[in-house]
Amino acid sequence: MPIYHTLGSIPPKRHTQFRKPDGTLYAEELVSTEGFSSLYSLVYHAYPPTIVKALGEPYSVEPKIAREKHLKHTSLIGFNIEPVDDYLQSRKPVLVNADLHISLAAPRKSMTDYFYKNSQADEVIFIHVGSGTLKTGFGKIRFAYGDYLVVPRGTIYQLEFDTPDNRLFIVESFSPIRSPKRYRNAYGQLMEHSPYCERDIKRPTDLQTHDEKGDFKILIKKQGLIYPYIYGTHPFDFIGWDGFHYPWAFSIHDFEPITGRLHQPPPVHQTFEGNNFVICSFVPRKFDYHPLSIPAPYNHSNVDSDEVLYYVAGDFMSRKSVVKGQITLHPGGIPHGPAPGSVEKSIGKESTDELAVMIDPFRPLMLTEDAVRIEDENYFKSWVI
């Protein structure tokens, strides 16, 4: 979100002398995106952010593709992903293309002996189960069930979980994650018709400067590889910062649904966008109020995009036998719609309590080996009468 924010101590003018109490200089760093043409922040470190003591051998975390080309309605039972202690090892990519990777994770332990940086993708981490704290040099963000954590590329972070029971739905975007353009005015402010506003955005707080030297392990991801780095100073040594590039959070529970007399199309649920895909939030809402309205969605053909739904909670009027953590993939090229009987059954209903995350990518998604391990192979038959 393009909201100016600042924490800690910064000098009155940028690119000027800013000295420690002992007279030595703090180290200024510009963290910029799209060269020097988009969002950026200026960060002031206790030490230069360039002190590398050792490099480890990189290792691959590239998704292993099991089904590159397909035309089959597919369902994945997400909670069948087994919990794993380590956060990075728990991340299992299931649906991928050149624009984004969708992963499931069930980490049991907090990140304590290393830090992580995705140097090539913004990350949207949806908290399905669990709570805790996102720790970065920019400050801390408390998170809980229903939060979207938006971590821009290049941000070094740790996740601290309150309990071992955690379920995450993660989107890696190889383009910047932003609020939909139609919700913003020419100055970047969210407008009155937007389903959320700046008051709903959680920004970092409680900046704590870690003025520490030693051996600090940072695992950096780029082009499908993890590069182990050992830095000589703590990565959270920020004395202060200001700008527009920093992690933030938004709760799906703060999304205000847009409703109407007749069934509203999926774009009214849009929450974020990247290049060639959108992320939408389906939340509890009143149904259509035309006297002849049909609350259940109509059959539709995805001509130019796939459709991914991640089911979070509640009863879904359009589907039967939906379980928490289930993912459905309806590929572009064939129609899909409500399950048999659900259209008639929906008539007269006044509201729904469903909660889901939807992703529409405009390039086909591929299934990974981790995906086919949790696939419901008979899902495509669910429209048989």
The pLDDT tens digits for 36-55 are 889 999 999 999 999 999 99
Assigned domain for 6 exists: no
Contact (CB, 8 A) for 283 and 252: yes
Range of the domain at 266: 257-381
Q: Residue 100 domain-assigned?
A: yes
Question: Are residues 212 and 91 both part of a single domain?
Answer: yes
Among residues 252, 270, 291, which one ends one of the domains? 252
- Give the pLDDT score at 319: 67
**150 and 36 within one domain:** yes
Q: Which of 310, 342, 312, 347 minimizes the C-alpha distance to 329?
A: 310
Q: Verify that 329 and 183 share a domain, yes or no.
A: no
Both 232 and 245 in one domain: the answer is: yes
- Which active-site residues does the annotation give? 263
Total domain count for the chain? 2
**Whether 41 and 162 share a structural domain:** yes
101 labelled as ligand-binding? no
19 part of a folded domain: no
Residue 60 and residue 202 share a domain: yes
CATH number of the domain at 142, please. 2.60.120.10
On whether residue 225 sits in a domain, the answer given is yes
127 shares its domain with 202: yes
pLDDT at residue 349 tops 90: no
Same domain assignment for residues 194 and 300: no
* CB-CB contact of 191 with 18 (8 Å): no
Q: Are residues 193 and 330 in the same domain?
A: no
Which residue among 252, 278, 304 closes a domain? 252
Q: Does the pLDDT at position 315 exceed 90?
A: no
- On whether both 293 and 221 belong to a single domain, the answer is no
Q: In this predicted structure, what is the pLDDT of residue 362?
A: 96
C-alpha distance across the termini of the chain, in Å: 46
Of 252, 287, 309, which closes a domain?
A: 252
Percent of the chain with pLDDT over 90: 83
Q: Specify the pLDDT at position 317.
A: 63
Contact of 306 with 332, CB cutoff 8 Å:
yes
Domain for residue 203, yes or no?
A: yes
According to the annotation, is 253 in a ligand binding site?
no
Per-residue confidence at 1, pLDDT binned at 50, 70, 90? low
Whether residues 264 and 247 share a domain: the answer is no
- Is the residue at 207 inside a domain? yes
Give yes or no: residues 286 and 186 share one domain: no
Find out whether 147 is annotated in a ligand binding site. Answer: no
Determine the average pLDDT of the residues in 318-337: 88
> pTM of the entire structure?
0.96
